[in-house]
Amino acid sequence: MRVAIYNSDTQESKRLKRMIIQGLAKEGIPYDEEQPDLVISIGGDGTLLSAFNHYEDRLDEIRFVGMHTGHLGFYTDWRTFEVFDLIESLKTDSGQSVAYPLLNVEAKFSDGTRQNFVALNESTIRDMVKTMVCDVYINAELFERFRGDGLCISTPTGSTAYNKSVGGAIMDPKIVGFQLGEMASLNNRVFRTLGSPIIFGKDAVLTLRLADDSTAVLSCDRTQIMLGEVRHLTELTYSVAEQQIRFAKYRHTNFWRRVKASFIGGEA
Ligand code: NAP
Ligand code: MN
């Protein structure tokens, strides 16, 4: 098993990285940032999002482990004082893993180009200046015309992130699907949207067609998709991705206890 570490830029993360690298060397576990089988992320959930993005092309080969330097995260359940327990777990690793669904995003642009993205948390489409107008298609059938600030399309594990802030439901990560949430939709006697979040199942296809003069901006997790002066978004298609993210499962962290610890209070 080859291990890589992906860390945030803090002194604490760098110190832990050095400690783990020493521990790995002592146990004869190879360290390899190019072709790892296991990626240890040290930092916050944001760091794990970046680690995911960095190793996105090797998702089938990689399992992740998250160590948090700050508060408990949703992707990070190892605490910094557990470094040696983690190395013990690596020594007895038998390939055990837990997999979660991801979101596939296909973007079409006005210049005829296309780009494909995979999101671990969510993809948002927003307009900061004018009202975003788009037609929402569910399985190729027109569902509604959305007017408002934007839309947030999240994965089950991303449901506790941005999705939650826009009034979406927390999804059990065992559900294979994705969620659509509205951001400040315009609703009056003339304009109408559903006004509540929708959770889609595994085969659903959600398509957004944007107005010709759209100035909407697309994000995928931590990344903003660059558009340029002339290129604008025309169509977005969302579905459950073929790939999944896998975490090395050395112990069980109860999801609902984590939700409680993060948002209500108490120990995880
Ligand atoms: P950030 O501003 O540090 O992230 C905002 C918060 O979301 C942080 O506390 C982060 O935890 C937490 N978070 C990330 N993924 C989560 C998840 N799956 N479940 C629960 N909480 C989660 O920015 P960042 O660290 O680069 O993270 C990017 C994410 O921030 C985006 O994917 C989006 O979900 C979220 N975001 C939220 C809002 C909002 O709620 N209005 C706006 C923009 C972005 P850590 O401190 O551990 O990193
Ligand atoms: Mn963060």
Q: Say if 168 falls within a structural domain.
A: yes
Q: Which ligand is nearest to the CA of 245?
A: 1
pLDDT value of residue 138:
98
The whole-number average pLDDT for the span 42-62 is: 97
Task: Check if the beta carbon of residue 222 is closer than 8 Å to that of residue 53.
Answer: yes
Q: Is the CB of 162 under 6 A from ligand 1?
A: yes
55 annotated as ligand-binding: no
Same domain, 231 and 256: no
pLDDT value of residue 212:
87
Same domain, 117 and 14: no
Range of the domain at 67: 3-96+249-263
For ligand 2, the distance from its centroid to the CA atom of residue 146, given in whole angstroms, is 30
For ligand 1, the distance from its centroid to the CA atom of residue 91, given in whole angstroms, is 32
pLDDT value of residue 226:
84
Q: Say if 194 falls within a structural domain.
A: yes
Q: What is the CATH number of the domain that holds 208?
A: 2.60.200.30
Active site residue 45: yes
Same domain, 106 and 233: yes
Which one of 121, 153, 165 would you pick to mutate in the ligand 1 pocket, going by the greatest count of ligand atoms within 8 A of its CB? Answer: 121
Round to whole Å and give the CA distance between 130 and 232. 14
State the Cα angle at 141 between 136 and 147, rounded to 5°. Answer: 20
Q: Say if 125 falls within a structural domain.
A: yes
For ligand 2, the distance from its centroid to the CA atom of residue 45, given in whole angstroms, is 6
Q: Which amino acid does the sequence have at 65? A: V
Q: Say if 179 falls within a structural domain.
A: yes
pLDDT value of residue 142:
98
Task: Check if the beta carbon of residue 38 is closer than 8 Å to that of residue 54.
Answer: no
Q: Is the CB of 171 under 6 A from ligand 1?
A: no
pLDDT value of residue 184:
98
Same domain, 158 and 195: yes
Q: pLDDT tens, 162-209?
A: 999 999 999 999 999 999 999 999 999 999 999 999 999 999 999 999
pLDDT value of residue 10:
97
Question: Which residues on neighbouring strands pair with residue 152, listed in sequence order?
Answer: 124, 181
Residue 250's alpha-carbon distances to 64, 209, 254, in angstroms, are 11, 43, 13
pLDDT value of residue 72:
86
Q: Which amino acid does the sequence have at 172? A: D
Same domain, 43 and 153: no
Round to whole Å and give the CA distance between 38 and 59. 10
Torsion of CA 137, 132, 128, 158, to 10 degrees: -20
pLDDT value of residue 253:
83
Same domain, 25 and 92: yes
Round to whole Å and give the CA distance between 47 and 139. 34
Catalytic residue among 9, 32, 37, 45: 45
SS3 242: strand
Would you give the DSSP letter of residue 174?
A: T
Q: Say if 189 falls within a structural domain.
A: yes
Same domain, 76 and 162: no
Same domain, 80 and 59: yes
The whole-number average pLDDT for the span 224-235 is: 88
Closest listed residue to residue 100, CA positions, set 164, 142, 138, 52: 52
Q: Which atom of ligand 1 is nearest to the CA of 71?
A: 47
Q: Is the CB of 46 under 6 A from ligand 1?
A: yes
**Mean pLDDT of all residues belonging to the chain:** 96
Same domain, 161 and 35: no
Number of domains observed in the structure of the chain: 2
Task: Check if the beta carbon of residue 193 is closer than 8 Å to that of residue 148.
Answer: yes
Same domain, 25 and 113: no
- Between helices 83-91 and 11-27, what is the axis angle to 10°? 30
Q: Is the CB of 66 under 6 A from ligand 1?
A: no
pLDDT value of residue 228:
76
pLDDT value of residue 132:
96
Q: Atom 36, ligand 1: which residue's CA is nearest?
A: 162
* Mode of pairing for the β-strands spanning 63-68 and 78-79: parallel
Whole-model pTM? 0.97
Round to whole Å and give the CA distance between 47 and 39. 12
Name the band, by pLDDT with cuts 50, 70 and 90, for residue 8: very high
Same domain, 9 and 73: yes
Q: Say if 268 falls within a structural domain.
A: no
Same domain, 129 and 188: yes
